[in-house]
Amino acid sequence: MPRLKAGQRHEVAFTLNGVAVRGEAEPRMLLTDFLRHVIGVTGTHVGCEHGVCGACTIRLDGVATRGCLLFAVQVAGRDVKTVEGLGGSDGRLSPLQEAFRRNHALQCGFCTAGILMSLDDFLEKNPSPTEPEVREVLSGHLCRCTGYTGIVRAALETAKGNADA
Amino acid sequence: MNEVAAELAREEAYTGRPLKRVEDAALLTGRGRFIDDLPSSAGTLHAAILRSPHAHAELVSIDAAEALKMAGVAAVITRKDVTALTRPFTVGVRQPMQHWCLAVDRVRYVGEPVAVVLARDRYLAEDALDAISVEYRPLPPVIDPERAARADAPLLHPDVGANVVSDRSFAYGDPEAAFAEAPHVVGTTIRYPRNSVTPIECFGMIADWRPDDGTYEITTHFQGPFALHPVMALALKVPGTKVRIRTPPDSGGSYGVKQGVVPYAVLMAVAARVAGRPVKWIEDRLEHLSAASSATNRVTRIEAAVAEDGRVTALRYDQLEDCGAYLKAPEPATLYRMHGTLTGAYQIPNLTVRNRVVLTNKTPTGLNRGFGGPQVYYALERLMHRIADELGLDRLEVIRRNLVPKEAMPYRAAAGSLYDSGDYAATVDLAIGEGRLVGLLARREKARKEGRLYGIGFAAVVEPSVSNMGYITTVLTAEEREKAGPKDGAVASATVALDPLGGVSVAVASTPQGQGHRTVLSQVVADVFGLRPEDVSVTVELDTARDAWSIAAGNYSSRFAAAVAGTAHLAAMRLRDRLAPIAAQRLNVPAEEIVFSGGKVAARSNPENSLSFHRLAGASHWSPGTLGDGVDPALRETAFWSPPELAAPDRGDVINSSAAYGFIFDMCGVEVDRDTGKVSIDRYVTAHDAGRLLNPALADGQVRGAFANAVGAAFYEEFAYGEDGRCLNGTFADYLVPTACEVPEPEILHMACPSPFTPLGAKGIGEGNCMSTPVCLANAVADALGVSDIDLPLSPAQVMALIEPNEPPPPHAAAVEAREPGRALSGEGTATIAATPDEIWRAILDPASLARLLPGCERLEAIDENTYAADVTVRVGPVTGRYTARVRLSELQPPHSLRLDGDGGGTLGTGSGTAWIVLQPADGSTRIEYRWEAEAGGKVAAVGGRMLESAARLLIRQMLQRLEVGAAPAAKRPWWRKHLPLGKGR
Ligand code: FES
Ligand code: FES
């Protein structure tokens, strides 16, 4: 990795939702601020900036990761997926997003992007999870609106749908 | 109601169906438009706020010169700007209390704003905070409300002359006689903790000043009540028309909390004016947890006069409400919101109340889901269980015997609430029915037989909705109210408009924060016009300069379903009534013949005779000339509605505080782990009567959300303060919010007694479980443990203290505050150093070597004999902070013992510590015995509480290492590495 200078902007080139993008960031700039305010994709939210609430979760090289605990320069050359990359290119919702809608798994929607990204990763690796497993994964996220019921149901329903398909 | 009911019963009615939400498509794809997502104009400055590390101190001086020199910094706002451009906020009681948007003479809570840096970006703004030097003169703080109420307590507002800023007594019926005659008096004392439903999105806003017309424009997710709009205008010293508030399309939750943006809106408005540029401020989580807002903590003594059969004939409340450092409008509303409803779900004719409001050095309080309900019902519903226990009666039976009977509806409660509707007994039957209670009793019996701790709890709660704008004036005497002029009602507004192509749009002043108002309004209005919900577009962004609103506007007191949706219905009906004559003319039938259905407008007797809704709806745009005489165009209708039942408090302080009153009966079974104190919820049943449900799926969502919030309040959440007022939970790792693993799925049941007082028969539902669930769970835990005194939060440590009363109290949370003043961190230890006591003594007493001994010391300068000023850099976990410190050596017994004191402040907050050191000669070496105490405040205490102890021990270890290196003759060094026994912590 090249030596970076504090106070200086560096170019960060990476793949965002399958598309090559680049932007400039100081070494101390958080990935969340970079995505939201430099690149201009605001679907990834910030709820605590200390790694607890999970609102900022993205997938980095396929792994669900806290965006607020990464610096922008750390994603150089890597693959980032955010909530904007979940649906089909035709604007259709993914099965998980559809299940969220059907099950009223969101209210204010502020926590939602992070939860979708965690579940996107989790369901890919665990196609038929149990409810306790789903709850365990969700315990990395805080939602103040829904009481989690709809979210748990949406995840289980998606897994079932995938299995039936 | 009848016409409406008939209409809602129509086959194609969308109202009442659990439709999917129109809001979700954008939110699920990352296209929400929250405040921090909105574009801001070029040149917008970013604000960072410097906050007080002290709970109570005089503000001696602020010097921002260095900060202003820093790159990218445009301005620093301090007290001189706010005293020039604003005045203190209006206060809800007649007291000379000065609450400015920025500290002026004193700071009164940790986190109080002291200065604002405006810079090119947020990172630079935060950098510059460190360069502002503020001199404070600390004053003794007072944290505990009961202590604050005593005459000898430190005074927060000397002009007021006391910390108790309001003290009113009330009597309804003949409580004295009832207590005198009662065979039993049962009482309990409750200390309800501070907590908040912390939304996941923190506060945010963009403020601008238009010098040309003298207007402040502020875009923020303010949730109302818009009664605070005049409060902002008065503080900014401009007419209300010069404060334009706009809300973003989406808001990331509020639960009342975002009412708290008000002081910041004023502050950032001033900042924008001073800087001459737009200003954006986004709060961070530490700021939110330490200083945004909170529900009140309250000490309640409640007593009941009880007949032999368990019937309560009178209640006596003595409530001491802690509103924090300032009475921030609309406080003390938390205390008065439930005033008319203090007798709860019970037919209790006599009531006496003493209400005191006290100020302490804590964050000022404000709206929070449940708003006053959790505090009242915790006391009342604990009391009902205790009455049963003390009289040897069945708990559920005592509740039932006292419930307001259905025949009494509408029922005027002792203090004035007019309960509109309900069948409480039937709702209880619904909850316990189908074997639910029998099943619970069996589970308890089985668990107890097996030696497990299992308990059952109940709670019956009346849930008020649509607050009377006048209830808060109950805090004033009748004479004071007369002078101020009457306040009453709860005006809701809605506008329905038709566009040239016949599209229908709806705008309301309801500022939702995730409840799905757009969905529900599209259902309600579609039904009026015989359209589909997708034919109706709804905007909920509010612009005070253009939209219809009133002081009651906003998203609070569960007013949406009961008031706002009904008002939209009224506006749509009016528009329909204007369309009908136009249609009648075109179809050549009388207007009464016209029906709206299936996207068409037709003659009732001959449905073939019809025209499309869109064509009719566009007519007033395209051809107003053809409407004919006496027929008005139909373009747009705005309806205002206020429940006529909401009168101002009368001379006897009788107040109907809300328009509609729902009912909830909760029942649960919990199991307590004897070894860990962990409580698991085995079963939870919650039965609601919220009248007519407009969208049952969304209503259940509200119940689940409030239930989850209540689980947090019951078991985890408390804003804990050190005895010096420092914030102990500045992160979500310290302020614990329940996750999917802690929140079970409650069984939700519905009973529908429509309200005769609201346009659609709906009553509120969104806050009830915040009122009923904490006490229901506590009642169950009390039952499991067989204890009678029980306070929240029921953390494992607190529960263990109830299981094993002789164990020492838990070290955290409330217990920290309750302890006698002492320091949070302490330890002791010994070390052997290869130098003589004389050598060590010299090393400590010589300033040059002392500077080398102190870890991170960059400068040490003698300011007095044995007193030094020092600059030190200290590391706690991942963060490093610079402190300016005073170091003092005293109690010198050369070369035997001494005491070292240090205290200082800096970017991470404040810190102080004392070490007592004894040197014993040991065989050419020296054995050092030491004891230390330390404490920290400000940022480091709030976010790093868990790391402080290890950081302190690391510092000591480094000091001892340096001591040896510094004191020992060169030849003897350095074998300490393997020979330094570390001090044992406490
Ligand atoms: S913002 Fe990253 S975990 Fe909360
Ligand atoms: S939907 Fe609002 S926080 Fe989860």
CATH code for the domain of A17: 3.10.20.30
Give yes or no: residues A70 and A109 share one domain: no
Instruction: List B residues 5-24 in contact with A (Cβ-Cβ < 8 A).
Output: 20-21, 23-24
Length of chain B: 986
Q: How far is A2 from chain B (nearest CA, A)?
A: 23
Give yes or no: residues A67 and A118 share one domain: no
Measured distance CA(A118)–CA(B484) in Å, rounded: 55
Is CATH 3.30.70.100 correct for B825-972?
no
- Cβ of A68 less than 6 Å from ligand 1: yes
Give the strand pairing for B600-603 and B594-597.
antiparallel
The single-letter code of the amino acid at B925 is S
Domain B41-138+196-292: give its CATH code.
3.90.1170.50
Measured distance CA(B281)–CA(B269) in Å, rounded: 11
Domain B2-29+491-641: give its CATH code.
3.30.365.10
Give yes or no: residues A139 and A100 share one domain: yes
Residue B820 in tokens: 């006698």
Give yes or no: residues A40 and A76 share one domain: yes
Residue A113 lies in a domain: yes
Q: Give nearest CA residue, ligand 2 atom 3.
A: A143
Give Cα B232 to chain centroid, integer Å: 20
Confidence at residue A3, expressed as pLDDT on a 0 to 100 scale:
80
* Of A97, A101, A93, A103, nearest in space to A117 by CA: A97
Instruction: List A residues 36-55 in contact with B (Cβ-Cβ < 8 A).
Output: 36, 41-50, 52-53, 55
Using a cut of 0.80, tell me whether the model's pTM lies above it: yes
Residue A90 lies in a domain: no
Q: What is the mean pLDDT of each run of 10 residues along chain B (986 residues)?
A: 47 86 96 96 97 97 98 97 97 93 98 98 96 96 98 97 98 98 98 98 98 97 96 98 97 97 98 98 97 98 98 98 97 98 98 98 98 98 98 98 98 98 98 98 98 98 96 96 93 97 96 95 97 96 96 92 96 97 95 95 95 95 88 94 96 97 98 97 98 96 98 97 91 96 98 96 97 98 97 96 75 39 71 86 85 83 87 76 84 90 80 87 87 80 74 80 69 40 35
Measured distance CA(B326)–CA(B444) in Å, rounded: 47
Residue A2 lies in a domain: no
- B147-156 core/surface letters (b: 16 or more CB in 10 A; e: else): ebbeeebebb
Q: Which ligand is nearest to the CA of B201?
A: 2
Q: Write the burial class of residue B671 (CB in 10 Å: 0-12 exposed, 13-18 middle, 19+ buried).
A: buried
Measured distance CA(B36)–CA(B38) in Å, rounded: 6
Secondary structure class of A118 (helix, strand, coil): helix
Residue A84 in tokens: 């904007």
Return the DSSP state at B679: E
Instruction: Write down which residue in A37, A66, A85 finishes a domain.
Output: A85
- A3-30 core/surface letters (b: 16 or more CB in 10 A; e: else): eeeeeeebebebebbeeebebebbbebb
Nearest-atom index, ligand 2, CA of A106: 1
Residue A3 lies in a domain: no
Residue B859 in tokens: 């400068």
The residues, any chain, with a CB within 8 Å of residue B526's CB and separated by 6 or more, are B14, B532, B533, B535, B536
> B697 in contact with A at a CB cutoff of 8 Å?
yes
For residue B88, is it left (φ>0), alpha (ψ between -120 and 50) or beta? beta
- B600-628 core/surface letters (b: 16 or more CB in 10 A; e: else): bbbbeeeeeebeebbebbbbbeeeeeebe
Q: Which strands, in side-by-side order, build the sheet including B658-672?
A: B453-467, B658-672, B679-689, B747-751
CA of B203 from ligand 2 middle (Å) equals 15
* Domains of chain B by residue range: 2-29+491-641, 41-138+196-292, 406-468+659-821, 825-972
Confidence at residue B611, expressed as pLDDT on a 0 to 100 scale:
96
A136/B737 CB distance under 8 A:
no
Give yes or no: residues A149 and A105 share one domain: yes
Using alpha carbons, list the distances in angstroms from residue B196 to B260, B404, B453, B606, B799.
12, 31, 30, 59, 21
Q: Which ligand is nearest to the CA of A44?
A: 1
The structural domain count of chain A equals 2
Give yes or no: residues A99 and A67 share one domain: no
Using alpha carbons, list the distances in angstroms from residue A67 to B122, B414, B831.
18, 55, 45
Confidence at residue B979, expressed as pLDDT on a 0 to 100 scale:
38
Which chain A residues are closer than 8 Å to B37 by Cβ? 36, 42
User: Which structural domain range is residue A30 located in?
Assistant: 10-85
Measured distance CA(B515)–CA(B369) in Å, rounded: 13
Q: What is the dihedral of CA B797, B798, B804, B808, to 10 degrees?
A: 70
Q: Give nearest CA residue, ligand 1 atom 3.
A: A51
Give yes or no: residues A70 and A115 share one domain: no
Give yes or no: residues A115 and A139 share one domain: yes
Give yes or no: residues A70 and A99 share one domain: no
* Of B202, B198, B200, nearest in space to B35 by CA: B202
Instruction: Write down which residue in A56, A85, A114 finishes a domain.
Output: A85
Give yes or no: residues A72 and A131 share one domain: no
Give yes or no: residues A76 and A112 share one domain: no
Instruction: Write down which residue in A53, A85, A117 finishes a domain.
Output: A85
Domain B2-29+491-641 and domain B825-972 have a common topology = no
CB A115 within 8 A of CB A143: yes
The residues, any chain, with a CB within 8 Å of residue B582's CB and separated by 6 or more, are B616, B619, B620, B627, B631, B634
> A88 in contact with B at a CB cutoff of 8 Å?
no
Between B964 and A22, whose confidence is greater?
A22
Helix (H) or strand (E) holding B111: none
B251/A108 CB distance under 8 A:
yes
For residue B679, is it left (φ>0), alpha (ψ between -120 and 50) or beta? beta
Give A74-79's long-range contacts (Cβ < 8 A, gap of 24+).
A74/A31, A75/A12, A75/A14, A75/A31, A76/A12, A76/A13, A76/A14, A77/A13, A77/A14, A78/A14, A78/A15, A79/A14, A79/A15
CA of A142 from ligand 2 middle (Å) equals 8
Residue A76 lies in a domain: yes
Measured distance CA(B429)–CA(B684) in Å, rounded: 15
Measured distance CA(B453)–CA(B187) in Å, rounded: 26
Confidence at residue B939, expressed as pLDDT on a 0 to 100 scale:
75
Q: Write the burial class of residue B505 (CB in 10 Å: 0-12 exposed, 13-18 middle, 19+ buried).
A: middle
Helix (H) or strand (E) holding B285: helix B285-287
The residues, any chain, with a CB within 8 Å of residue B734's CB and separated by 6 or more, are B728, B942, B943, B945, B946
CB B772 within 8 A of CB B664: yes
Helix (H) or strand (E) holding B563: none
Please determine, for the modelled complex, whether the ipTM score is greater than 0.90.
yes
CB B524 within 8 A of CB B694: yes
Domain B406-468+659-821: give its CATH code.
3.30.365.10
Secondary structure class of B418 (helix, strand, coil): strand
Give yes or no: residues A78 and A23 share one domain: yes
Residue of A nearest to B739 (CA): A139
> A116 in contact with B at a CB cutoff of 8 Å?
yes
- Cβ of A113 less than 6 Å from ligand 1: no
Computed over its alpha carbons, how large is the radius of gyration of chain B? 32
CB B769 within 8 A of CB B775: no
Using alpha carbons, list the distances in angstroms from residue B590 to B527, B602, B604, B900.
22, 11, 10, 96
Q: Give nearest CA residue, ligand 2 atom 4.
A: A143
Residue A5 lies in a domain: no
Q: How far is A122 from chain B (nearest CA, A)?
A: 15
- Find the distance separating the first CA and the last CA of chain B, reported in whole Å: 68
Q: Which residues pair with B137 in a beta bridge?
A: B58
